[in-house]
Amino acid sequence: MPVACPPLELLIAAPRGFCAGVDRAIRIVELAIAKHGAPVFVRHEIVHNAHVVDALRAKGAVFVEELDEVPDGAPVVFSAHGVPKAVPAEARRRGLDWLDATCPLVGKVHRQAERLAEAGRHILFVGHAGHPEVIGTLGQLAPGAMTLVETVADAEAVAPADPAALAFLTQTTLSVDDTAQVVATLRRRFPSIEGPRGEDICYATSNRQAAVKAIAARCDALLVIGAPNSSNSVRLVEVAEREGTRARLVQSAADLDWDWLAGVATLGLTAGASAPELLVRGVRDALALRYAVHETEVETSRETIAFKLPRALEAAA
- Average the pLDDT over 235-262 and give the result: 97
Using one digit for the tens of pLDDT, what is the confidence trace for 110-132?
999 999 999 999 999 999 999 99
Task: Report the pLDDT averaged over residues 255-269.
Answer: 97
Residues 24-33 have a mean pLDDT of 97
Local confidence band at 315 (pLDDT 50, 70, 90 cut-offs): low
Percentage of the chain surpassing pLDDT 90?
Answer: 94
Q: Is the pLDDT of residue 13 over 70?
A: yes
For the whole model, what pTM was predicted?
Answer: 0.93
* Average pLDDT estimate for 72-86: 95
If one looks up domain 105-189 in CATH, what number appears?
3.40.1010.20
The pLDDT assigned to 278 comes to 97
CA distance 183 to 306: 29
Please state, for a pLDDT cut of 70, what percent of the chain lies above it.
98
- Does the pLDDT at position 275 exceed 80? yes
- The one catalytic residue in 66, 133, 150, 295 is 133
Span(s) in the chain for CATH 3.40.1010.20: 7-18+203-299, 105-189
Task: Check whether 183 has a pLDDT greater than 90.
Answer: yes
Whether residue 43 has pLDDT greater than 80 = yes
Residue ranges of the chain assigned to CATH 3.40.50.11270: 20-103
Q: What is the pLDDT of residue 273?
A: 96
How far apart, in whole angstroms, are the C-alpha atoms of residue 226 and residue 13? Answer: 14
In whole angstroms, what separates CA 103 from the centre of its chain? 10
Residue 199 clears pLDDT 80, i.e. is over it: no
Architecture of the 20-103 domain: 3-Layer(aba) Sandwich (3.40)
- Residue 289 CA, chain-centre distance (Å), reads 31
Residue 85 is classified by DSSP as: T
30 is catalytic: no
Report the pLDDT value the prediction gives residue 3, as an integer from 0 to 100: 65
- Amino acid identity, residue 52? V
Give mean pLDDT, residues 123-150: 97
CA 311: distance to chain centroid?
A: 24
Q: Residue 269 CA to chain centroid, in angstroms?
A: 18
Q: How far apart are CA 268 and CA 136, in angstroms?
A: 34
- Residue pair 145/167 in contact (Cβ under 8 Å)? The answer is no
- For residues 294 and 288, what is the distance between their CA atoms, to the nearest angstrom? 9
The whole-angstrom separation of Cα 285 and Cα 295 is 11
Chain mean pLDDT for the chain: 95
Contact 41, 62 (CB under 8 A): yes
Mapped onto helix, strand or coil, the DSSP state of residue 199 is: coil
Q: Has residue 1 got a pLDDT over 60?
A: no
User: Poorest-confidence range of 76-80, 155-159, 196-200?
Assistant: 196-200
Q: Reading across the β-sheet that carries 146-149, which strands appear in turn?
A: 146-149, 122-126, 166-170
- When the candidates are 1.10.10.10, 2.60.120.10, 1.25.40.10, 3.40.1010.20, the CATH number that belongs to 7-18+203-299 is 3.40.1010.20
C-alpha closest to that of 190 among 213, 164, 223: 164
Q: Within a 10 A sphere around the Cβ of 75, how many other Cβ atoms?
A: 19
* Residue in 10, 11, 18, 9 with CA at minimum distance from that of residue 208: 18
3-state secondary structure of 317: coil
